[in-house]
Amino acid sequence: MRFDLSTALAGSEAMFADLGHFSYHAIQIAFTFLVYPALILAYMGQAAYLSKNHQNVDHISYYVSVPESLRWPVLAIAILASVVGSQAIISGTFSIINQSQSLGCFPRVKVVHTSDKIHGQIYIPEINWILMILCIAVTIGFRDIKHMGNASGLAVMAVMLVTTCLTSLVIILCWHKPPVIALCFLLFFGSIELLYFSASLVKFLEGAWLPILLALFLLTIMFVWHYATIKKYEYDLHNKVSLEWLLALGPTLGICRVPGIGLVFTDLTSGIPANFSRFVTNLPAFHRVLVFVCVKSVPVPFVPPAERYLLGRVGPPSLRAYRCIVRYGYRDVHQDVDSFESDLVKRLADFIHYDWCRSQTSTDRGNEDQPSASERSSGEHRLAVVGNMDFSRSLVFEVDENMQQESVSCGFQTVESIGDIIEMSTPKERRVRFAIEDTEDPTDIQMRQELEDLMAAQQSGTAFILGHSHVKAKQGSSFLKRIAVNFAYNFLRRNCRGPDVVLKVPPASLLEVGMVYVV
């Protein structure tokens, strides 16, 4: 019987896939005082049995070495252990797919957060079904535990070898240790793992080919998705519209402003996206309040709610156009559309107040903090995070959800005298009220008018404008690029979750603009 160390290594690695469910110290204690002693005793028993029955080594199996009276209890424990190990591997797969999707390296799939308190507990239905189908196919296809063991051994040793190489990079880049230490670590552990990896490669034709094939398949999917996504972003970057074009749109050109808020989703953090110009060209109207929304996943686990929104103006205040960058960590839970819309309006109101306060303060200081010449020429103003700011002038902001009052201070001081009140209600009984000090200051009057327009626009309804893209490889591209872009990427895009589903946009409020990307 072959002494397979990779089985023990796979079990220990599976334990660390449960780090999202158990603490680091709990896993250390369990492995040191329970798992490791049991593992040593099991292999000592097998070695003792082999030393007395080595003549039948070619026909010996694990359960033959177990005493007859303990065979069924050991089988029950083995089944329970396999259930725990498979659950750990499944949870680790969900976590990796979720983080890869957040970083734009995997097609969009449905992620269900199963716990309100622990964000690491997730469930991905599509991946769960794929894992089930693969397990059944491997079991039916191999029909031999020896071939399955060869496949598992090569996969485990490849994972350990890659982990050692990445750890050597962590030693240099994250721990800031001398490269000599990383090199010694790589040579010592890498040489041992290379021996086991080369031994597993000998069994390549006897089942070890399966993990290599699956790895190449997943690598191809991730590479195609990431490559086409980057090319789409570059196309948007090179074909964005100038602000002068937007400012030139007016009644003289047959363009009208309709009531409501238009949320234009784009990957750009500056400029006017091409899909909006296509929208205005085919439908010569856009909303009274226009917000260019860019949802970004940042490489940190969580983004505090007060720092999630970066807001700025697009053009002069009279245009009523804004830019909003919404930042989510790769372990953040995306908001539903109702809370997102309500939160966005609150943040816009905060920003309007902050921007008018800043303009008056800069005027009092002699225009020292006015936008630079490049900002004025491009129409792009500095983005601001207004979640934790206090201003000299006061604003009270209240939200009424389902007829239950909830006061939100938003970092502003409380006012005793409440002036004009802007009140609105949505079909879901959501009412928003702003109250600012009643004054004859022209700046306050303009700020009040802008807040009134914002609330009136929300009362009229919100439309979500998304691009419906089709990607094509440009003429003269190589054969592999045409296959990857024209067929593979478009197939993945059609069969994965659309951006409207990911952003939880209600179909009644969705406007899709068709775009053809030639990359």
Q: What is the pLDDT of residues 260-292, one digit of tens each?
A: 898 888 888 888 888 888 888 778 888 889 999
Q: For residues 185 and 187, what is the distance between their CA atoms, to the nearest angstrom?
A: 6
What is the token pair recorded at 31? 């492995």
pLDDT attached to residue 406: 34
Our count of domains for the chain comes to 3
Amino acid identity, residue 145? Answer: I
pLDDT attached to residue 233: 86
Question: Does residue 307 form part of some domain?
Answer: yes
Strand segments, DSSP code E, in 104-219 are 112-113, 122-123
CA distances from 479 to 159, 218, 220 (A): 32, 21, 16
With a cut of 50, say whether residue 228 has pLDDT above it. yes
| 19 pLDDT tier (thresholds 50, 70, 90) | low
Do 150 and 200 share a structural domain? yes
Radius of gyration, CA atoms only, the chain: 30
Do 409 and 431 share a structural domain? yes
Do 433 and 355 share a structural domain? yes
CB atoms within 10 A of CB 354: 20
Mean pLDDT of the chain: 77
Do 323 and 265 share a structural domain? yes
In this predicted model, what pLDDT tens digit does every residue of 74-122 receive, in sequence order? 889 888 878 877 887 888 888 888 888 878 889 988 888 777 666 667 8
Q: For residues 182 and 308, what is the distance between their CA atoms, to the nearest angstrom?
A: 37
Q: For residues 341 and 323, what is the distance between their CA atoms, to the nearest angstrom?
A: 14
| 507 pLDDT tier (thresholds 50, 70, 90) | confident
Which residues are registered as beta bridge partners of 466?
512
Kindly give, in sequence order, each residue whose CB lies less than 8 Å from that of residue 27, ignoring residues fewer than 6 positions away: 15, 16, 18, 19
pLDDT attached to residue 392: 46
Question: Does residue 23 form part of some domain?
Answer: no
Domain final position from 434, 460, 486: 460
CB 10 within 8 A of CB 152: yes
Element (H, E) at 358: helix 337-364
Question: Does residue 83 form part of some domain?
Answer: no
Kindly give, in sequence order, each residue whose CB lies less than 8 Å from that of residue 371, ignoring residues fewer than 6 positions away: 381, 382
CB 299 within 8 A of CB 331: no
Cα 460 to chain centroid, rounded: 31
Q: For residues 479 and 487, what is the distance between their CA atoms, to the nearest angstrom?
A: 11
**Averaged pLDDT for residues 246-254:** 68
Question: Does residue 73 form part of some domain?
Answer: no
User: Which one is predicted more confidently, 413 or 308?
Assistant: 308
Main-chain phi, psi angles of 143, to 5 degrees: 55, 25
CB atoms within 10 A of CB 49: 17
CB 356 within 8 A of CB 325: no
Do 309 and 252 share a structural domain? yes
pLDDT attached to residue 395: 47
Q: For residues 9 and 76, what is the distance between their CA atoms, to the nearest angstrom?
A: 21
Question: Does residue 276 form part of some domain?
Answer: yes
Do 453 and 310 share a structural domain? yes
- Residue 83: Cβ-neighbour burial (10 angstroms; 0-12, 13-18, 19+): exposed
Do 408 and 310 share a structural domain? yes
What is the token pair recorded at 384? 């601001």
Do 482 and 453 share a structural domain? no
With a cut of 90, say whether residue 454 has pLDDT above it. no
Scan for tokens 């993945």, then name that residue.
Answer: 492
Element (H, E) at 291: strand 285-298
Domain final position from 440, 460, 480: 460
Domain final position from 443, 460, 477: 460
pLDDT attached to residue 21: 61
Among 126, 224, 235, residue whose Cα is nearest residue 469: 235
> What value, to the nearest 5°, has the Cα angle with vertex 455 and ends 453 and 456?
65
With a cut of 70, say whether residue 210 has pLDDT above it. yes
Q: For residues 65 and 50, what is the distance between their CA atoms, to the nearest angstrom?
A: 8
Domain that holds residue 512: 227-236+466-518
Do 443 and 362 share a structural domain? yes
CB 112 within 8 A of CB 124: yes
| 320 three-state secondary structure | coil
| 12 pLDDT tier (thresholds 50, 70, 90) | low
CA distances from 83 to 14, 87, 327, 458 (A): 11, 6, 37, 51
Picking from 24-33, 226-235, 324-333, 413-422, which range would have the lowest pLDDT averaged per residue?
413-422
> What value, to the nearest 5°, has the Cα angle with vertex 183 and ends 177 and 185?
85
Q: Label residue 254 left, alpha or beta by phi (over 0 means left) and psi (-120 to 50 means alpha).
A: left
Do 340 and 246 share a structural domain? yes
Question: Does residue 54 form part of some domain?
Answer: no
Q: For residues 314 and 322, what is the distance between their CA atoms, to the nearest angstrom?
A: 5
pLDDT attached to residue 415: 31
In this predicted model, what pLDDT tens digit does every residue of 115-168 receive, in sequence order? 766 666 788 999 999 999 998 998 888 887 788 888 888 888 888 888 899 999
Do 442 and 293 share a structural domain? yes
Question: Does residue 75 form part of some domain?
Answer: no
**Averaged pLDDT for residues 343-355:** 86
CB 429 within 8 A of CB 401: yes
Question: Does residue 35 form part of some domain?
Answer: no
Do 252 and 268 share a structural domain? yes
**Averaged pLDDT for residues 306-320:** 86
